Amino acid sequence: MTQPSAHQKVLIVDFGSQVTQLIARRLREAGVYCEIHPFDKAGAALAAMSPQAIILSGGPASTTEAESPRADPALFEAGVPVLGICYGEQAICAQLGGKVESGHHREFGRAEITIQKANPLFAGLAEVGQGEPVWMSHGDRVTAIPPGFEVIAVSEGAPFAAIADEGRKIYGVQFHPEVMHTPRGATILKNFTHRIAGLTGDWTMAAYRDEQIEKIRAQVGQGKVICGLSGGVDSSVAAVLIHEAIGDQLTCVFVDTGLLRKDEAKQVTTLFREHYNIPLIHVDASAEFLGALAGVSDPETKRKTIGKIFIDVFDREANKIEGAEFLAQGTLYPDVIESVSASGGPSAVIKSHHNVGGLPDYMKLKLVEPLRELFKDEVRALGRELGLTDAFVGRHPFPGPGLAIRIPGEITPDAVETLQQADAIYLDEIRKAGLYDQIWQAFAVLLPVKTVGVMGDARTYEKVLALRAVTSTDGMTADFYQFPWDVLARTATRIINEVRGVNRVVYDVTSKPPGTIEWE
């Protein structure tokens, strides 16, 4: 992976924790550039990056097992500060002369550490002898620390809840400072990067924008670029950035699948053609997509069908653009991490449809991916830096397969139209209530269930519509949004009155566990 060499950098070594990405999120929030690399490739990443600090993540394994992951010894010999988190601390102890054992008291969930000794890692936190709330998640326990280390915090279940070797600047914490349940965990991580490692926080969107413009120009030269525009925030920000770099060498291809939100195709074409004056080919392939999906109910078959047709249509249009050498797409850093962990190395995919189909060899296009170092909220910040409005960059995520996966069962034109109308009403009421920006993602699902209802003096036998809304800060975990009842009541009433084919509306109150990236 490429990285801007001018920036100070932190290497995050991934041992398989579900929340490793949150470490990167907290560092980026503090203005620190970082990359996540799997533990078995950490040595190569160390040599390539020359980081100013290293963080070892948590993980599900046990260091007491012979085949469990280990940190590359070069990490401890690099002469830069090292912080081990949970499994990372246990790896430090197991490899540097301490001891880790299984079968002791486990700690999962909220806990409290007691600060034993003043340390720059805990600057701004509780005083010595006082407690600090944290989030624990470990079954093994450190029972002896390596030579040169001292205890700087304890908890009821972890006598070595935090340790430090000030001479080598190696630190370990048994808890997870990266999660929101450790209230001042971001302060701990910033203490490590800024106070201990001496980083200044030079990661800004203005600098990133300028660097990427130069990189795009250097990569593309006088070549032509086509961008698979989905209308979502990621591909749109990538297109505007690339256009700023190379102007009319870029042509966007917007494939209208017929599965978009109501009036979305019109909004996208207006934005790019009239506001940004970016060359845009609008392909209305709705009949092709809906025809292929007729009779298809299995969700994975839907995805693959949509992915294949999307690639076929896109390739057909791309071949009409003489001299096109590059394909631009809005790949984000979480996509890169997923593909690396899944396959052992980056994979080429058409990002706008969320990995439903690989990029075929016959397309022979070189990828331009200017967002691959960014997380979702950083893409939004870059969009604002490029002049995109908050109303556009703040839009809720929308899945590549579109409404097809929000219609369990068979896709029909009538079902799509029904869902489009209901979804538009739902979002309209959310906006009217001033709640849109409080919600990470809101959408409607047309369930394959019919119920008997009474509307006026007549009985009806029509479908059930489910409404979904979640809150999140990073997209890694989410909880259902606690709507004011009057907003839900107005929304349901409008849908029942204005959308034919629906006679009941329900609200989904399930939550999202950690470890997955995107709601659909």
Active-site annotation holder among 34, 86, 227, 252: 86
Would residue 89 show up in a list of annotated catalytic residues for this protein? no
Under a CB-based contact definition with an 8 Å cutoff, are residues 214 and 189 in contact? no
* Beta-sheet pairing, 162-165 with 170-173: antiparallel
Residue with tokens 């996540």: 36
* Full 3-state SS string of 289-309: HHHHHCCCCCHHHHHHHHHHH
Consecutive H or E run containing 101: strand 99-101
In 314-410, where do the E strands start and end? Answer: 324-328, 366-368
HEC-encoded secondary structure of 392-408: HHCCCCCCCCHHHHHCC
In angstroms, how far is the first alpha carbon of the chain from the final one?
Answer: 28
**C-alpha–C-alpha distance, residues 253 and 283, integer Å:** 7
**Active-site residue flag, 227:** no
How far apart, in whole angstroms, are the C-alpha atoms of residue 335 and residue 324? 25
Active-site pick, 7, 176, 243, 353:
176
Q: Which long-range contacts (CB under 8 A, 24 or more apart) does 98-101 make?
A: 98/142, 98/144, 98/145, 98/146, 98/149, 99/142, 99/143, 99/144, 100/62, 100/63, 100/64, 100/140, 100/141, 100/142, 100/143, 101/64, 101/140, 101/141, 101/143
Phi/psi-derived region of residue 479, left when phi > 0, alpha when psi is between -120 and 50, beta in every other case: beta
Q: What DSSP line would sit under 419-444, residue for residue?
A: HHHHHHHHHHHHHHTT-GGG-SEEEE
Among 35, 107, 132, 178, the active-site one is 178
The residue with tokens 């398989």 is 16
The beta-carbon contacts of 348-351 under 8 Å, at least 24 apart in sequence, are 350/228, 350/307, 350/310, 350/311, 350/314, 351/228, 351/234, 351/235
Token pair 């299995």 in the structure block, residue:
298
178 given a catalytic annotation: yes
Q: Which helix (H) or strand (E) covers residue 506, if one does? A: strand 502-507
Catalytic residues: 86, 176, 178
